[in-house]
Amino acid sequence: MSTTEILLKKVQGTIRKYQMLTSNTKLVVAVSGGPDSATLLDLLFRLRPKYDLRLSVAHLNHGLRGREADLEAEWVKKFAFKLGIPVISDTFNVPALAKEKRLSLEEAGRRARYDFLEEVANRMGASKIALAHTASDQAETLLMRLMRGSGLDGLSAIPPIRDKIIRPLIEVFRGEIQDYCRENSLQPCFDSSNRETSFLRNRVRLNLIPYLSQEYGDQIERVLFQTTNLLRQDSEYLKKETERVFRSVLEEKRSEGLVLNEEKLSYLHPALQRRVLRKAIEKIKGDLKGITFDHIVSIVELYETKEPGQLDLPRGLAIRHRYGNLLIKKGKEKSLTFVRNLVIPGTTKLTELNLALDTELISALSEVSPQKDPQKRLGQQFISSGRWGSLLSLASVKKIKSHQISDFPEPEAWFDLDKLESPLYLRTREDGDRFHPLGMKGSKKVKDFFIDVKIPLERRKRIPLLISKDKLVWIVGYRIDERFRVDEDTRSILKVRIRESHD
């Protein structure tokens, strides 16, 4: 049996196995001009009567290889013309895209290529796009992802079919394609960049696989390919199981995101826990780009603490852990540039942060007997203690666990009212903000303070500052300014307490 007969039979088997085509299909074939895509087009042309295919060719010049790329475009047009197939070709400045989006040339080229193919398919009214990935590409991809670190889904390598994309050559090896080209005198183009070892795939193809074949047997490529198939089957089963489990864990769909039941989530096997979390994220943001294994582990650690908390992930993704539920939502954080006068005495609400600050005036010295005036008695206790440098909050005088909120270690602070100047207000942090941390001589940048106490970057913008005229009085919930502390001469005290408010 000739190579042509073997590949025709093999490709038909692949099409049937993955249900790639139905009759009367409009199909765009991506043709670069190399051996793989030339073989793909030739085979599909031969299979055209069987599937009643209506073929068109798409070719994109990436603007990377000058005259060589121009010759490839001409070859593709002549080859397609010989077969009587229409061609849509274009040129795209991939280096400019890579620079603009800060991408590698490989990633920029991939994005440009897929966008172009989608555009051609829409123009031609095609329901399918055929790409020329092979079994050899599968083996290379498995090795690349092993080296970079990947889970089961990644190690499954290139899917035979995804949405409009089909890969009829996914079970054909590169050696078979070379034989096919010789047997049918196709004389495809040679891409000189395929010899550049600056690309990882080329190093795997040109160096690693030949070495493995020589040292561990010439069937290594087939073994790797078979491994991707087994891993894909396992992955497909786990995806179905994840979908089933996800529905049982999903507590509520809200306009801003999804709520997961943490108790049900905690009972799952770690492998399913991670998959359910990835599934939720994918449903919210549409993909998993920028989401790493470490991000998923951070989410698990967040809800395992049993304490309320929040985690901000890339691309505006926010995870909130409250009262046994995990809220996963997407959306750019609203700008937190507010200025709010402090109500004294009374309550000031910071709706942007779901917080409120309660203020109270305490007379430190009074003609009223301490026994008759609890506030005065507390004030005298405060003054007589002599621990000015360490008294950051009411918690230093009296335990107030009921007032504690998880994001702010010091939710109450006391200040010498006579040292404060109007206006007294709350605002968000600004570049260059400085203060005199309690117990220290000299000033410090607020930014440096946040770094010293290890406050995550995403938390810093959610910490309000209390300002007196033009001086920083309190990094709310963290540290007061030395200049406004209560001392032996204090006559009137301003007590401020921060709390959660969801009104």
Adjacent-strand bridge partners of 467: 425, 472
Band of pLDDT at residue 90, cut at 50, 70 and 90: very high
User: Which token pair is 264?
Assistant: 């049900």
Band of pLDDT at residue 312, cut at 50, 70 and 90: confident
DSSP 286: S
Section 452-463 average pLDDT: 78
pLDDT given for residue 287 in this prediction: 83
End-to-end CA, the chain:
78
Distance (Å, rounded) from C-alpha 6 to C-alpha 281? Answer: 44
Q: Is 8 exposed, middle or buried (0-12, 13-18, 19+ CB in 10 A)?
A: middle
Distance (Å, rounded) from C-alpha 276 to C-alpha 378? Answer: 52
Distance (Å, rounded) from C-alpha 274 to C-alpha 219? Answer: 35
User: Which token pair is 366?
Assistant: 């009074």
- Average pLDDT along the chain: 85
pLDDT tens digits, one per residue of 385-443? 333 333 333 333 333 333 345 568 889 999 999 999 999 999 999 889 999 999 888 89
pLDDT tens digits, one per residue of 183-192? 999 999 988 8
Band of pLDDT at residue 159, cut at 50, 70 and 90: very high
Determine if the pTM surpasses 0.75.
Answer: no
pLDDT tens digits, one per residue of 337-347? 888 999 999 99
pLDDT given for residue 387 in this prediction: 33
Beta strands in 48-179 (DSSP E): 54-61, 87-91, 128-130, 161-162, 165-166
Section 262-288 average pLDDT: 90
Write the CB contacts of 138 (distance below 8 Å, at least 6 apart in sequence).
Answer: 157, 158, 170, 224, 225, 228
Secondary-structure breakdown of the chain: helix, strand, coil percentages, each rounded to the nearest 5: 45, 20, 35
pLDDT given for residue 375 in this prediction: 38
Q: What percent of the chain has pLDDT over 90?
A: 56
Better-scored residue on pLDDT, 289 or 40: 40
Distance (Å, rounded) from C-alpha 193 to C-alpha 198? Answer: 9
Q: Is the peptide bond before 160 cis (omega within 30 degrees of 0)?
A: no
Section 28-48 average pLDDT: 96
Better-scored residue on pLDDT, 466 or 194: 466
pLDDT given for residue 118 in this prediction: 94
Band of pLDDT at residue 503, cut at 50, 70 and 90: low
Question: Mind listing the domains of the chain with CATH numbers?
Answer: 3-221 (3.40.50.620), 254-330 (3.30.465.60), 339-500 (3.50.40)
Band of pLDDT at residue 334, cut at 50, 70 and 90: low
CA dihedral 196, 202, 203, 204 (to 10 degrees): -170
Better-scored residue on pLDDT, 318 or 71: 71
Unique residue bearing structure tokens 């196995």: 17
Long-range interactions of 83-87: CB distance < 8 A, separation 24+: 83/41, 83/42, 83/45, 85/29, 85/41, 85/45, 85/55, 85/56, 85/57, 86/56, 86/57, 87/56, 87/57, 87/58, 87/59
pLDDT tens digits, one per residue of 112-146? 999 999 999 999 999 999 999 999 999 999 999 99
pLDDT given for residue 485 in this prediction: 93
Adjacent-strand bridge partners of 318: 312, 329
pLDDT given for residue 335 in this prediction: 56
Q: Is residue 373 within 8 Å of residue 365, measured between CB atoms?
A: no
Distance (Å, rounded) from C-alpha 454 to C-alpha 27? Answer: 56
